[in-house]
Amino acid sequence: MGMIKNILFPVDFSQSCVAMGAYVKRTAALLGASVSLIHVFDPNGHSGLELSVRTLAEIADEHLEIARDRLDSFLQAEFPRAQHPRLIAAGEPATQIADTARCSFDLIIMPTHAGSFQRMLLGSTTANVLNNVDCPVLTSKHADTVTPRPTGHRKWLCAIGVDHNSEGILRYAHLASLEMHGNLRIIHAIPAKSELPLQLDLDQRMGHEDRQRAHEWIDDLQRRVGSQAPVRIAGGSVKESLLEAAAEFEADVIVMGRRHRPGAHRRLSDLTYAVVRDSPFPVLSV
């Protein structure tokens, strides 16, 4: 039995969602997973003119009927209704998507720019979904077209830190890449230290020690997880190091932890926002 059995695909009928359909279909085929489409509509999205001739309940019923008709006819060729459930919900999109995902879904796949997402990537629907759901989320910033690579092209790049979350992230990447017969590699970035001329030798020595500690940490993680993936240790900007490695590797997907800022509010870290926002590659945040 696969680790990903049920995929939730939120749609807003935008061109990005149309283009994303091929990617979702390919991913589901590789995983042997089922796909359900969900659309969230606003039952209170009405004008003053509508209120003058109908009640709120009548307006909400009409909006529901319109949304259901659009959802039933959307991407029918890619996801026939008989095999792929279509879910309709009313309310705030991210909340409804998160609530639905908690029921029985192992993965959410959604574009980062589409329709309502286009105003600001992280600050609207996508950001709130990433903040609130517990299951992994696969995002892609392709706005107009998503061209799936050939079936044999399955390259996974896993970003690993040196913290208590790293083992779970690597284990997930390892098992998922095995399931898809993929080629996994690991990237760890060491943030650059400020270099003062009089301390150049000290900084170089500290950089070497940091790299050695990171290698030892990741070697231990791989032993516990059962992975033997090649490891790259990079220095400098964490985001730029990750995206550079993904470009060189021609990665199909970047796997990374979904880190939150400390405190009561589940707000993603700046690094997570930046990678999801700027990556030209799909990002699977765990």
CA separation for the pair 74, 86 (Å, rounded): 10
Q: What are the extents of the domains in the chain?
A: 6-140, 155-285
Q: Which candidate, 225, 249, 242, places its Cα nearest to that of 283?
A: 242
Q: What kind and span of H or E run contains 40?
A: strand 34-41
6-140 has CATH 3.40.50.620 classification: yes
Q: How far apart are the first and last CA of the chain?
A: 20
* pLDDT for the residue 266: 55
pLDDT of residue 119: 41
Contact 218, 159 (CB under 8 A): no
Assign 149 to helix, strand or coil: coil
* Cβ atoms of residues 138 and 4 within 8 Å: no
User: What are 122-136's pLDDT values in tens digits?
Assistant: 447 788 888 888 899
- 256 vs 236: CA distance, rounded Å: 18
Q: Which amino acid is at 175?
A: L
Name the average pLDDT for the chain. Answer: 82
Tokens of 117: 């997402």
According to the model, what pLDDT value does residue 222 have? 97
Say what the pLDDT of residue 114 is: 43
pLDDT tens for 38-67 read 999 887 765 555 555 667 677 778 888 999
* Fold agreement (6-140, 155-285): yes
Distance of CA 217 to the CA centre of its chain: 26
155-285: what fold?
Rossmann fold (3.40.50)
**Nearest by Cα to 59 from 67, 96, 92:** 67
Element (H, E) at 137: strand 137-140
The residues of the chain scoring below 50 in pLDDT are 114-123, 143, 194-203, 205-206, 264
SS3 241: helix
